[in-house]
Structure 1
Amino acid sequence: MAGPYSQVVLFGDSLLQGASQVQDGFSFQGALQHLCMRRLDVINRGFSGYTTKNALYVLHDVFPPASASSPKMEYLIILLGANDACLPIPQNTQHIPLDQYKDNLTAIVNHERIRAHNPKILLVTPPPLDEVRMEEVDLQRGHPQVSRHASVSAAYSDAARRIASEVPGVTLIDLHKGLMDKAISLTPGFRADGPPLGYPETGRGGLAQLLPDGLHMSGEAYKVFFDLVEPHIGPFPEGCEGYPFPGWQTLNG
């Protein structure tokens, strides 16, 4: 008898929690589950507002010990850092210093509960920040100042790149670059020799389509994300070969 389906696990903050939503006719999690249908289950463990510190706190409960009777985690997609990069200001308690962020992220990808499954780990850089829109949102919420800076968020994305390059068995998914490239393609006249999109000096440009509130992704942005992840899942055999359960032709044969 076949055992439980192996898994693709999404572990992160609201950017993964929101991956289950259908936006603009697209769902990242839906597309990923369709890709893995009848082979792997896609499990969403995204927690809105979480930092790497919060993620480490719950990691033992999110990932039970590996056993012969429990599902095997084949792939782990980690996306954390957008909240760590909040500014250390009185109205926000999420800020995690950059060095601690790097230490926390390293501890997560090397954690014994994760490594016991020997999964393929896809470490995702936090996306770009549209600081122009973020300031509008913060002020609308009654905050006295912006809670995030685009340049600070970019530094955390760069830190995730370094972790992916330094830790064996970790594959980089450069969502920051993927979304920025897409935004540039949507911004006629953008000058590459100036500040990036989303910075106060440059304006929103194509990021307005991809990050409606300055931070969270639109359906179009999730499609960019999926296109970056898809080549790293599989390949799977054609037809029913490799399915945990047989096809109907075999059962009816």
Structure 2
Amino acid sequence: MNYNKFLLFGDSLTEFAFNSWMEEGKPDQFVLGAALCNAYTRRMDIVQRGFSGFNSRWGLKVLPGILESECGIVVSTIAFGSNDLCLGGHQKVPEEEFVSNIKKMILLLKAKDIKPILVGPALIDQERFEASRQEEVQKGYVRTPERFKLYSELLHKVADEEDVPMVDLNVAFQREGGDKWQELLSDGLHYSGSGYKIFFDELMATIRKFYPEYAPEKMQRKLPEWRNVLEDGSNVL
């Protein structure tokens, strides 16, 4: 009954992956974490390790402990950038260090034969996001669309150099959202259910293309179907 594990590792966009109520006053919405649990049920466990507000610098310090405490991880996302790209404040991580941090995370995963998947920052509705965060803005925690594009491009470069796949949410949100891309964001930065649905679809497409052995339909389900179980259960295991 040992299950392989799929690690979701990143910032708040990972921490909220199981939050079905991202927008107050609206019904429950699509949930990335639950969708992955459903896709991999009886095949692989989903382990969520998301840390709101964290950047790649802090994530790099956390990852070794996660890998020591969680056995059986075979696939892992690395989803940082939306905090690193701040123009100021202590979340900011300069471009060169950001690239270095991500590369070090990839090496940590590869050293344990874990398949990495980079996830880039999506989009920001700057005016909407900053409206309720003026105190943070005044301290320099400013995020711009240009910075989202830049850090997404940095991750593309890392993916190419390290030969790992990347989920490009910056491009996917623009493509799928069109003129209504703001609806993919719950508060201007964090994703709505529609945004997480795009994340899920892009992630599954990436797995099927680059790590097909871990596509749900390619993995064997644990234990026989109930119709094939003998009454006394003698063939369960």
Tell me the TM-score normalised to structure 2 length.
0.84
| Match of residue 93, structure 2, among 87, 92, 96 | 96
Distance 1:49 1:25 in 2: 23
Matched residue, 1:44: 48
Matched residue, 2:7: 9
Q: The residue matched to 1:74 in structure 2 has which SS?
A: strand
Distance 1:183 1:20 in 2: 22
- 1:183 maps onto 2:177 in alignment: yes
Query: What is the CA RMSD across the aligned residues, in angstroms?
Result: 2.1
Structure 1: stretches of 5+ with no match in the other structure: 188-205
Instruction: Give how far 1:147 is off.
Output: 1.6
Deviations 1:102-150 (A, max 9, x none): 0100110111xx22432222111111122222332332x4743662122
State the AA in 1 paired with 2:99: K
Q: Runs of at least 4 residues of structure 1 off by over 4 A?
A: none
Instruction: Give how far 1:247 is off.
Output: 3.0
Matched residue, 1:19: 17
Aligned residues: 218
Matched residue, 2:79: 79
Tell me the TM-score normalised to structure 1 length.
0.79
Counterpart mapping for 1:54-203 below 5 A: 54-64=58-68, 71-88=71-88, 92-111=89-108, 114-139=109-134, 141=135, 143-144=137-138, 147-168=142-163, 170-184=164-178, 187=179
Deviations 1:181-226 (A, max 9, x none): 1222xx2xxxxxxxxxxxxxxxxxx232112322111000000111
Decide whether the 8 Å contact of 1:130 with 1:207 is kept in 2.
no
Instruction: Give how far 1:9 is off.
Output: 0.4
Question: Identity of counterpart residues, as a percentage?
Answer: 29
Shift of the 131–53 alpha-carbon distance from structure 1 to 2, 3 Å rule, reads same
| Match of residue 219, structure 1, among 187, 193, 204 | 193
Distance 1:56 1:8 in 2: 18
Decide whether the 8 Å contact of 2:118 with 2:166 is kept in 1.
yes
Deviations 1:158-200 (A, max 9, x none): 10111111103x111111111111222xx2xxxxxxxxxxxxx
State the AA in 1 paired with 2:162: V
